[in-house]
A and B are shown apart, each in its own frame.
Chain A
C-alpha cells in the first residue's frame, strides 16, 4: 500500500461534499477520476487525511447544450467528451488526453482543478472563455477560466471548493494542435485558437507554469496579419523554459508551428493580407 492512510467518505450529494470539506479545513481532498490525485498519493506528494469520493453523486454527469455553450457536469469523463458532438473542440482536445483507461475515469472538472501545465482542457477553457460553477462554504459562485490558473497545479480555488460544472462557450471557428513525444503523453506544446463574438483567442499550453494567451499574436490577427505572422509573434512573446523533454528554443519553434496549425485548422489568417 503506497498512499498514506486516510478516512474515506463516499459523498451522496453536493451538500455533503461541501460540509465534509469545510469540516476538514484543508486536510480533505475531492476524489474524482483519481487519475492525477492517486498517483500523487502513491508518491506521497499528496497526503490528504480525508478523501471525499464524489463519483456516486447523482446528476453530475450531464453534457448539456445551453445558449451558445456546452455545460459539462463534474463527473463528465474525458471519454464522454470524445463521444459527444455538441462541442467539437472539446471532443478533439479530449482525444489527446492519455489513453483509453485514463479517459474512462478522468473527469473534465478534475483536469481543470488539477491545472497541470501540460494538460489540454485548461488550454481549451482559457481559449473559449469557459466558466466554472464553484460551490464552497459561502455558497455558489462563477469563476472564469481567466481567473483560475495561477501556477503549476495551482488555482484560485480553495481547498473547500467543489467545481460542480464547467461551461465552455461554442466557438464559431476553432483549431487545435498539439506536439507530444509519444502518443498519449502530456503535451510539449498545445495551441488552441477559438473565435468567439468575432474576437480570436490564441492560447498556448505546455510552455510555462499556466496556459497562456498569446495576446501579441491575437493583436497581429486583429490588425489583419496572416497566421504566419501571428505564429511568429506568439513564438516571440512566450518565455518557455527548457527541460529534458526539449530546450527553450525548441519549444519556441514548436509553439510557432502549433499556432500556425491551429489557425490553419480554424481557417483564420489564411488569406494573404
Chain B
C-alpha cells in the first residue's frame, strides 16, 4: 500500500505492507534509525515519536495509518547542526549512557515542555514515567528535563 506523510518536514511516499508498523517504516523505509525498538508492544517507550504533535508509540501504529500525518523523530530535533536545548541538557546532565532510550525520552520531553514550559519535578516524573531506561537512572534524566525547561522555548 502506498502511504504519504511528512517526517521532520520532509514529504515521503513509501510502499509498505499494512502490517508494517510506523516504527519499522521509519527505520527501514525512511532510513531514520534514531527511532529505537525495545519491546514492540507499547511498554518501554523507546519508539515514541510525535504524530501531529502528539507523543505516540510508533510500534503500536501501522505506517498506513499515518497517511497525511506530520511526524517528528529524534533526527528532526537538531537545527542546522545545533542540538536542541533538550539534547544539550541531556549531555550536560548525564541524561544518557547507552542512549537506547534517549530518542523516546527526548520526544516525550519535547511534548511536555511544549505544553508546560515550567513543570516541577513531580510533573516531569509523571510525564516521563512511560519511558524505561536500563542504565542511566532517572534522577539525571529528570535533572536534564528540568534544566532544559529553563532554556525553553527555543523549540525544534
Contact = CB atoms under 8 A, between A and B. Distances in A.
Contact of B129 (A7, A8, A43, A184): A184
A98 B60 contact: no
B114 interface: no
B129 A183 contact: yes
Contacts of A101: 45, 48, 55-57, 108, 130
| Majority secondary structure, B binding face | mixed
A38 B41 CA distance: 7
User: Closest 7 A-B residue pairs measured CB to CB?
Assistant: A99-B130, A8-B18, A39-B41, A101-B55, A38-B60, A104-B54, A3-B19
A102 B57 contact: yes
Interface in B21-44: 21, 24, 40-42
Interface in B47-68: 48, 54-57, 59-62, 64-65, 67
Contacts of A6: 18-19
**Interface size class, chain B:** 20 to 34
Given A53-B64, A104-B56, 8 more contacts: A1-B21, A5-B19, A8-B62, A34-B61, A39-B41, A42-B41, A53-B65, A100-B55
Interface residues of A, number: 30
10 contacts: A1-B17, A1-B20, A5-B18, A5-B19, A8-B64, A38-B62, A39-B42, A101-B45, A101-B130, A102-B42
B144 to A, nearest CB: 18
A217 B111 CA distance: 43
Nearest to A99: B130
Nearest to B111: A100
B82 interface: no
Interface in B112-136: 112, 126-127, 129-131
A76 to B, nearest CB: 15
B42 A38 contact: yes
Nearest to A38: B60
A100 B130 contact: yes
A164 interface: no
B60 A35 contact: yes
A183 B126 CA distance: 8
A221 B127 CA distance: 38
A105 interface: yes
B1 interface: yes
A4 B129 contact: no
A55 interface: yes
Contacts of A43: 41
Interface string A174-194: 000000001110000000000
Contacts of B45: 99, 101
A2 interface: yes
Contacts of B64: 8, 10, 53
